[in-house]
């Protein structure tokens, strides 16, 4: 492996398993010092500790953090862990997530709030804390978020809360890419397909939107996260990137105009009633 991230410090939330673990290992392999953040426990062992041990056995440099991503206070502790241990932060990867496939009419307030707190709240709080440090350092930085095609479902959605949160991550990513450009902080979002604890199974996925996947190993898509953290990606920001196995695709931004209709003056309801059926709209 090369050392394209030598001297850089990366924070990976949700780094205790799945995509986050693969990203943390790949960042370390390219020379970054890594903060692996995950509050999870498996078989009585903190999952962040297990990944840190993996990194150290490969002669990498890493520390574990167990704070939640869901609040500003906790997110600041996460970034403080990077500054305290390694002196700075250059890369943030927002991998932390949760999932509850609950129909809307059965969803509780707690279900909804939990999804929003971890996905949207976590992306916001950690990005806020990381950007403050990057601006203080007066150095370029990289923030990579995780969205999903579930945010713009063309098939049976995986729950309205999850879809809403993932669509929100897209808007958040685009807004930050504009806001932070003046500081040299680039912000992108990955739309991944991989086998994870939240989405197990190895059957090929896709088909309705993308060609069926040829692989679902989360480690296969880690290099694109690494790339976005390199100096070579200094001009890549505001991008939506699909990644699965050996595939990646640069996605168009949502809300691209599909059909534009104009008349002179105000539409009447009767005119709309007669016009819409001929537009061949599809869900």
pLDDT reported for residue 196: 65
Nearest partner of 144 among 191, 209, 87, judged by Cα: 191
Q: Which residue's structure tokens are 């808007």?
A: 171
Q: Is 183 a catalytic residue?
A: no
Number of separate domains in the chain:
1
pLDDT reported for residue 108: 94
Q: For residues 148 and 282, give the distance between their C-alpha atoms in angstroms, rounded to a whole number.
A: 21
Full DSSP string of 52-118: HHHHHHTT-EEEEE---SSSHHHHHHHHHHHHHHHS---EEEE---------GGG--HHHHHHHHII
Residue 271: inside a domain? no
Active-site residue, from 66, 166, 227, 242: 166
Residue 237 has pLDDT above 60, yes or no: yes
Residue 126: inside a domain? yes
pLDDT reported for residue 158: 60
Report the pLDDT averaged over residues 86-109: 92
- Per-residue 3-state assignment (H helix, E strand, C coil) for 123-184: HHHHHHHHHHHHHHHCCCEEEEEECCHHHCCCCCCCCHHHHHHHHHHHHHHHHHHHHCHHHC
Active-site residue, from 8, 50, 66, 162: 162
Residue 270: inside a domain? no
Residue 200 has pLDDT above 90, yes or no: no
Q: Is 227 a catalytic residue?
A: no
Query: 17-63 pLDDT, tens per residue?
Result: 999 999 999 999 999 999 999 999 988 999 999 999 999 999 999 99
CATH code of the domain in which 239 resides: 3.40.50.720
Residue 184 has pLDDT above 90, yes or no: yes
Q: For residues 75 and 57, give the distance between their C-alpha atoms in angstroms, rounded to a whole number.
A: 28
Long-range Cβ contacts of 50-57 (<8 Å, 24+ apart): 50/16, 51/15, 51/16, 51/17, 51/21, 51/24, 51/25, 54/25, 55/24, 55/25, 55/28
Residue 213 has pLDDT above 70, yes or no: yes
Residue 116: inside a domain? yes
Residue 231: inside a domain? yes
Q: Residue 104 belongs to what domain range?
A: 9-256
Report the pLDDT averaged over residues 114-129: 96
Residue 280: inside a domain? no
Q: For residues 193 and 188, give the distance between their C-alpha atoms in angstroms, rounded to a whole number.
A: 16
Whether the Cβ atoms of residue 60 and residue 35 lie closer than 8 Å to each other: no
Full DSSP string of 221-279: GHHHHHHHHSGGGTT--S-EEEEETTEEEEEPPTT--------SSPPPHHHHHHHGGGG
Residue 157 has pLDDT above 70, yes or no: no
Q: What global pTM score does this model have?
A: 0.91
Residue 202 has pLDDT above 70, yes or no: no
* Cα 186–chain centre separation: 14
Residue 89: inside a domain? yes
Residue 278: inside a domain? no
């Amino acid at each position: 492996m090369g050392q394209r991230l030598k001297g850089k410090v990366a924070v990976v939330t949700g780094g205790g398993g799945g995509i986050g673990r693969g990203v943390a290992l790949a960042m370390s392999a390219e020379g970054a010092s890594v903060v692996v953040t995950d509050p999870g426990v498996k078989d009585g062992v903190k999952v962040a500790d297990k990944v840190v041990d993996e990194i150290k056995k490969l002669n990498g440099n890493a520390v574990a953090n167990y704070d939640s991503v869901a609040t500003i206070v906790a997110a600041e502790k996460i970034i403080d862990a990077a500054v305290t241990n390694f002196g700075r932060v250059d890369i943030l990867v927002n991998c932390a997530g949760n999932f509850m496939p609950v129909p809307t009419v059965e969803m509780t307030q707690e279900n909804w709030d939990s999804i929003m707190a971890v996905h949207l709240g976590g992306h916001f709080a950690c990005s806020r804390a990381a950007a403050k440090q990057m601006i203080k350092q007066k150095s370029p930085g990289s923030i990579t978020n995780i969205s999903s095609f579930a945010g713009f479902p063309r098939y049976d959605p995986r729950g309205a809360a999850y879809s809403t949160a993932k669509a929100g991550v897209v808007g958040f990513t685009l807004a930050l890419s504009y806001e932070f450009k003046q500081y040299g902080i680039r912000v992108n979002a990955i739309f991944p397909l991989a086998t994870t604890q939240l989405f197990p199974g190895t059957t090929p996925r896709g088909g309705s939107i993308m060609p069926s996947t040829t692989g679902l190993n989360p480690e296969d898509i880690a290099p694109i996260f690494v790339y976005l953290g390199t100096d070579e990606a200094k001009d890549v920001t505001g991008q939506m990137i699909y990644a699965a196995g050996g595939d990646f695709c640069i996605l168009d931004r949502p809300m691209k105009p599909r059909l534009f209709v104009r008349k002179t003056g105000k539409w009447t309801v009767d005119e709309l009633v007669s016009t819409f059926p001929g537009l061949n709209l599809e869900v």
